[in-house]
Structure 1
Amino acid sequence: MTTSTPTLDQGLTDRLHGDIVEPGDPDYDEARKVFNAMHDRRPAIIVRPADAGDVIATVDLARDRGLPLAVRGGSHSVPGHGTCDDGVVLDLGRMRGIRVDPEKRTAWVEGGCTWADVDHATHAFGLATTGGVVSTTGVGGLTTGGGMGHLARRCGLACDNLVSVDLVTADGSFVTCTDEQNSDLMWAVRGGGGNFGVVTSFAFRLHPIADILGGPTFFPLDGDVIRRYRELVAEADDRLGAVFVVGLGPPVPFLPERWHGRPMCGVVTCWSGPQDEDDEIRDRVAALGPVLGRHVERMPYPVINTLFDELVPAGLYHYWKGAFTQGLPNGAVDALVEYGADTPSIQSVTVVFPIDGACHRVGPEETAFSYRDADYSIALSPTLTTREDCEAQKDWVRAFDRALAPHSMGGGYVNFMDSDDRDRVQANYRTNYGRLRELKRRHDPGNLFRLNHNIAP
């Protein structure tokens, strides 16, 4: 008499409303893909839950079988944390429900939503909250890492606008977290990443923002432009979002063709103040240097978060580094100019996010995100169309990172860290690391949630 070897999904299928994809299934290869094509992994099973009950069942399976568990929202994780070899992928992409209460100015958002989903649902009521600058970014990864975006100076980080989360913890418990209930976990998910569980639902505070003045203004790559930019941000009303970019001129109609593919810099304006001040804002940004091209117009707020979408579609090859700075020291300006001149592709954009204003009105120990004294967060990324080209440009971004290091604050934003930055985890959380580690010991002593920028228990 022979006995068959139990399959991974044995017993799980009966507990699920969602579905399971395994090797050999017709859609397996498509289901295992993630945004960053550098990561070509083969999970043993991919679970696509329909609800929180399915999430609990999947967490139980991975824990009880001792399997790696990768949690995937929008799948934008640059280090590939949304996938794994020979383990369980929990793909939340089917859980994309949203409910907006316009009177309470609150949105309840399921864990598989993207920022395009949130922007669409909230804009119908003339409301918005800080979200990602690429609309396909997942809500979960961006928010639990901190969450930078065009509205950060006015509204704070995405995590600052969290009022509650529903969380499945490592022991399979379902808990609601607020500042009054399970407050330790609420504190931890505001910047502590995916270390503490699977967020199945977020509740966000919304703000009365419908239309904005938005779009890019391009200049020659010059240190004087960057120095004028830092003066503009230091003096500007918090309602002015002004993300700075360094890269190669994109092939857009409002930029002369002779500048396509040449090094340049630019400001992506997001003015959420009154329309009668639009001309003044355009002029202030244009005064940073010789304008090569611009497209700055009134638009619905959701549109500003789609401007990078075509530049970085899924399936490209990425490698990232990140840094925080106080002000933009002259040494950092020099590095942006020197290494920006060698940008390897149009998709490889260095992005400087201003995180002053409302971000500074939260204390460093009020959330797990501790860099409340940083004025800027810088993202460095060679993004190429082949793996070989991306590998070849890693030395460029590493040298760029080393050039910024003497002028930065030691740690960096966890969502800009790649897989070889594990030694920076403690620096990324600074004085909050000890508290996070103690919470990890308490809530996930077996480190089930380890496929992230891991805080080891």
Structure 2
Amino acid sequence: MSNSAPANTESESNKPALLQNFKGVVATPSDEKTYNIERWAPLAARRAAYVVYPASSGDISTAILLARSQNLPIAISGGRHDCSGASSVEGGVVIDMRNMNAVRVDKENMVGYIQGGTTIHHAVQELFKYGLTTALGVGATVGVAGLAVGGGLGIRMGEHGLACDNIISATMVLANGGIVNVNEKENSDLLWGIKGGGSNFGVIVELGMKLHKPWPEVCTIEYIYVPEQLSALVDELSAWLQVQTPSETLFLAFCLGPQDGKPYLILTGMGTFGADEGQRLWGRFLKLGPVMSKTAQIPYNAYTSQSEAYIAMPSNKIGCGAHFNNFDYETIKKACDMMLAVTPKAPMSTILWEFYHYDLVPSVPLEATAFPQRTKDKTALVAVFGFADEWLSEARRAMDEIQTVVSSSSTGSARTSIGYINYASALASENETDANARRAFGSNYPRLQELKRKYDPEMVFNKWFCIRPA
């Protein structure tokens, strides 16, 4: 999928009057070269009436006013990674931000200004040119804006917190077409709202994010085990969790091998140290005797490449998150067995247990930002991939059942959570009522309702956990 749209070739006379001065690209279904509704999850694509690729905040304002003048629904498209269709809209206007992907740096104040169409990979590369970085995720083609305003897990969490906790300012376009600055002095209530409240309040033109020094290099590992080693692996991971440092992140995946179609457990990791230190810290996992092991030392700006194979899977996809605070063999084994039963119909499916360093997440008070999940509970991703179109409802059922099992031995909010909110795409677009939004945002929901009444009372932005105005 291209990350840039071609030049606008549509005849000016065919444009709606509002678009006559549009500087970016406007495409309709008849424009074969410019009309692009492809999504990372193919079933999330919708046939929009217009796909607009803005070149400025003024273009975004124009697109919103066009949609509202014709009573057309709006979707905001950044990295296009949502599985449910939150970045797509049938018969409406998609504001596709991919061409607004500039990154600029204020080194004196250590602030990076990242436009709303920027992917994580592009942001990492651009910031690294200045010897800097910010708190971002690991998915190369995931959009920075969507990641950050939905929370933002990442390998720097242990040192710098969530991506949303690194937002210090924004430029936004509101539902009335107004262009506003958002910071501690201007529209500070919106600053609170976009730190976890997602796309409910407007289009992100640009985020200002705290900058940090990157690690000089990243140690990465990939150790592959057979299912019979699960018990020993769970024991070793549980022991490692007691001594995990803020600079260590591990992931455990259960999936089929792409070559032989057999089930495997894949342990991957990233850390801010050299390969020798990686061997010392993670050597315990080598002692278990993986059937394949690989350790590498890579430049910091190459870390997003570790996710490319997973992200590039050309298949139908549906996924959800889960939280867990108990990591025990019986629960993990049951979840793996259930996923294995799904693979004949969905062979690219995966359960991914994520061992980020979560200690800084609850250090920010729950009421300090809109982000509702301020605990040390760990995250998991249940991904049902590679199924035929007609198997969608069964894929959804299987996903829900496996999610329940992943959290079943946990306690408190982890057991009842919808999972990390940015992974809960299966629920995000079910907005006939606000039941999912209430469940997602918890005790922060009433304040978010007040913001919705102030900035988007007609619910123009309604594709992702749509908040009902107070």
Q: TM-score, normalised by structure 1?
A: 0.89
- Residues 222 and 295 in structure 2, CA contact (< 8 A), matched pair in contact too: yes
For 1:71 and 1:362, locate their aligned partners in 2 and report how far apart those are by CA, in whole Å. 28
For 1:156 and 1:43, locate their aligned partners in 2 and report how far apart those are by CA, in whole Å. 37
Counterparts in 2 of 1:121-140, with a 5 A limit?
121-140=126-145
Pick the aligned partner of 2:218 from 209, 212, 215: 212
- 1:349 is aligned to 350
Q: 1:315 to 1:219 in 2, by over 3 A?
A: closer
For 1:403 and 1:127, locate their aligned partners in 2 and report how far apart those are by CA, in whole Å. 40
**Which residue identity lines up with residue 320 of structure 1 in the other structure?**
G
- Residues 150 and 242 in structure 1, CA contact (< 8 A), matched pair in contact too: no
- 2:197 is aligned to 192
- 1:256 is aligned to none
Q: 1:346 to 1:195 in 2, by over 3 A?
A: same
Pick the aligned partner of 1:237 from 245, 268, 274: 245
Counterparts in 2 of 1:381-396, with a 5 A limit?
381-384=383-386, 386-388=388-390, 390-396=392-398
For 2:242 and 2:152, locate their aligned partners in 1 and report how far apart those are by CA, in whole Å. 21
For 1:438 and 1:335, locate their aligned partners in 2 and report how far apart those are by CA, in whole Å. 43
How far 1:69 sits from its partner (Å)? 0.3
For 1:389 and 1:97, locate their aligned partners in 2 and report how far apart those are by CA, in whole Å. 40
Where 2:306 maps in the other structure, the secondary structure is coil
Segment of structure 1 superposing worse, 233-242 or 356-365: 356-365
- 1:377 is aligned to 379
Cα deviation digits, residues 358-378 of structure 1 (max 9, x gap): 223222222211212132111
How far 1:314 sits from its partner (Å)? 6.6
- 1:267 is aligned to 267
Cα deviation digits, residues 281-327 of structure 1 (max 9, x gap): 2314435x332222221111232222222233274211112122234
- 1:321 is aligned to 320
For 1:188 and 1:324, locate their aligned partners in 2 and report how far apart those are by CA, in whole Å. 23
- 2:282 is aligned to 282
How far 1:391 sits from its partner (Å)? 4.8
- 1:81 is aligned to 86
- 1:413 is aligned to 420
Q: 1:18 to 1:435 in 2, by over 3 A?
A: same
For 1:234 and 1:124, locate their aligned partners in 2 and report how far apart those are by CA, in whole Å. 36
Counterparts in 2 of 1:35-434, with a 5 A limit?
35-209=40-214, 210-221=216-227, 222-251=230-259, 260-273=260-273, 277-287=277-287, 289-313=288-312, 315-328=314-327, 332-342=331-341, 344=343, 347-355=348-356, 356-384=358-386, 386-388=388-390, 390-406=392-408, 407=410, 408-411=414-417, 412-420=419-427, 422=430, 423-434=435-446
- 1:456 is aligned to 468
- Residues 263 and 343 in structure 1, CA contact (< 8 A), matched pair in contact too: no
For 1:273 and 1:177, locate their aligned partners in 2 and report how far apart those are by CA, in whole Å. 37
How far 1:157 sits from its partner (Å)? 1.4
Cα deviation digits, residues 137-162 of structure 1 (max 9, x gap): 11121111111122222321111111
For 2:74 and 2:375, locate their aligned partners in 1 and report how far apart those are by CA, in whole Å. 34
- Residues 282 and 296 in structure 1, CA contact (< 8 A), matched pair in contact too: no
How far 1:425 sits from its partner (Å)? 2.4
RMSD, matched Cα: 2.4
How far 1:250 sits from its partner (Å)? 4.2
How far 1:96 sits from its partner (Å)? 0.8
Cα deviation digits, residues 31-88 of structure 1 (max 9, x gap): 1222210134211111110011101111122223321000001111111111111111
Aligned: 1:24 with 2:30: yes
Q: 1:284 to 1:375 in 2, by over 3 A?
A: farther
How far 1:89 sits from its partner (Å)? 0.6
Q: Percent identity?
A: 25
- Residues 211 and 300 in structure 1, CA contact (< 8 A), matched pair in contact too: yes
How far 1:420 sits from its partner (Å)? 4.5
Q: 1:335 to 1:154 in 2, by over 3 A?
A: farther
For 1:153 and 1:389, locate their aligned partners in 2 and report how far apart those are by CA, in whole Å. 39
- Residues 161 and 204 in structure 1, CA contact (< 8 A), matched pair in contact too: yes
- Residues 410 and 427 in structure 1, CA contact (< 8 A), matched pair in contact too: no
How far 1:187 sits from its partner (Å)? 1.1
Q: 1:313 to 1:276 in 2, by over 3 A?
A: closer
- Residues 103 and 127 in structure 2, CA contact (< 8 A), matched pair in contact too: no
For 2:330 and 2:69, locate their aligned partners in 1 and report how far apart those are by CA, in whole Å. 51
Segment of structure 1 superposing worse, 195-204 or 118-127: 118-127
How far 1:414 sits from its partner (Å)? 2.2
Show structure 1 runs of 5+ residues with no match: 1-6, 252-259
How far 1:385 sits from its partner (Å)? 5.8
- 1:4 is aligned to none
